[in-house]
Amino acid sequence: MSKSLKEQLLAAGLVKPKQVTEAKQQQRKQARQQPKAKAAPPTPAQLEAQKAAAEKAARDKELNRQRQAERERRAIINQLEQIIEAQRLSTKDGETPFRFVVKSKIKKIYVTADQHAALVKGTLGVVRYKEAFAVVTRETAERIAERDARTVLVLRDGTEPDIQEDPDYADYKVPDDLMW
């Protein structure tokens, strides 16, 4: 095979390796300095393709945002379920009904007498757990409310009155031992 001109000149000793590298650098500089040919104006088909690609990118971005939001929502739900599962109080022996309002409907959960008093006082709270309700401590309910306030159904602060007085019936007192 024949050698390139550069290799032949180096072999003959007419040029030095340093001169060869300088020549390469000069060629690169000249190639960078030459103006590039301007691209032809885009055709209508190219414009349509660019527009379609931009619309697809926007749809994909929105779909990815929705998927990410759903993943975050699922992660929060899983965290809440773990917290409630670990911190909920047992209401198996509960005989006293505790009534509360959820979406304008009166719901009831059976708790012990001590838990009922604590719920009224505000040291315990009721949270939504899966398809039912759970009784948790105030601290746990506050932790849950930080992540999702809709999950906490009852958490009194102790300042609101337990019974709202109706002025028409102020003369008629309800006995303390009356159970509904």
The pLDDT value given to residue 71? 96
The pLDDT value given to residue 90? 86
Residue with the larger pLDDT of the pair 16 and 36:
16
**Which range has the worst mean pLDDT, 1-15, 37-51, 54-68, 165-179?**
165-179
CA distance 16 to 128: 84
Task: Give residue 166's region: left, alpha or beta (phi > 0; psi -120 to 50).
Answer: beta
Best mean pLDDT range from 37-51, 61-75, 126-140, 164-178: 61-75
The pLDDT value given to residue 134? 92
Asked if pLDDT for residue 135 goes beyond 60, the answer is yes
Q: What is the mean pLDDT of residues 52-74?
A: 95
Beta strands in 12-147 (DSSP E): 96-102, 105-111, 124-129, 132-137
Give the model confidence (pLDDT) of 68-125 as tens digits: 999 999 999 998 899 999 988 988 888 999 999 988 899 999 999 899 889 888 899 9
In the chain, domain spans: 48-161
The pLDDT value given to residue 176? 66
The pLDDT value given to residue 161? 57
